[in-house]
Amino acid sequence: MAVKIRFSRIGKTHTPVYRIVAVDERAKRDGKFIENLGTYNPLNHTLEQWHAERIDYWVSQGAQKTDAVKRLESMLKKGKLNRPGMPKVVVKQKEVSYVSQAPKKVEEPTPAEEVAVEAKTKEAVEVKETAPAAAKEAAPKAAEKATEEVKAEATEEVKASDSAKATSDKEAKA
């Protein structure tokens, strides 16, 4: 029986998570496995479990790692994978930077910044207070304009219907 160390997919649709398993090479991808050796989440590059001593054991017994597992192991050695309880790794294009999980200190604003913020809030409050008054003044004007437009349309329709009646009466008499 030839043993391989490969991925077995678990997880929901569009959210893959892979088990790293020791499995008979003839078994299905997600089928029966011999031993679970780890878990990898490719969406956030997190290696959630990694049993290195068991992987070494299976390799000593003749198991072969697939290319994907070899790549994962090399990424782990290079430090490009996130590990639970470790600083998060942010992977950029050909660049790796570490982001500390320690909370950052919040800097207090300088007096000049405080004055600027207060001025902006006062302006915003003034605009907010004047906006309803301007809207109240504009609303009656808009209503008057709308009623005038409706009256004009109605008179045009009446004139058109009167002229149509007059022409139809003339045609009926003739």
By C-alpha distance, which of 47, 39, 7 is closest to 23?
Answer: 7
Q: How far apart are CA 114 and CA 137, in angstroms?
A: 35
Q: Which of 40, 69, 99 is the last residue of a domain?
A: 99
pTM to 2 decimals? 0.47
Residues 80 and 117 both lie in one domain: no
Q: How far apart are CA 171 and CA 28, in angstroms?
A: 90
Cβ–Cβ under 8 Å, residues 82 and 47: yes
Tokens of 83: 């590990």
Residues 39 and 91 both lie in one domain: yes
Structural domain containing residue 80: 3-99
Task: Look at the chain and report how many structural domains it folds into.
Answer: 2
Residues 91 and 9 both lie in one domain: yes
Residues 80 and 164 both lie in one domain: no
Q: Which of 40, 66, 99 is the last residue of a domain?
A: 99
pLDDT, one tens digit for every residue, the chain (174 residues): 789 999 999 989 999 999 999 998 888 888 888 999 999 998 888 888 888 899 999 999 999 999 999 998 888 888 887 776 665 555 554 555 555 555 556 667 677 777 777 777 777 667 666 666 666 666 667 667 777 776 777 777 767 766 766 666 666 666
Residue 46: give its domain's CATH number. Answer: 3.30.1320.10
Q: Which of 99, 128, 152 is the last residue of a domain?
A: 99
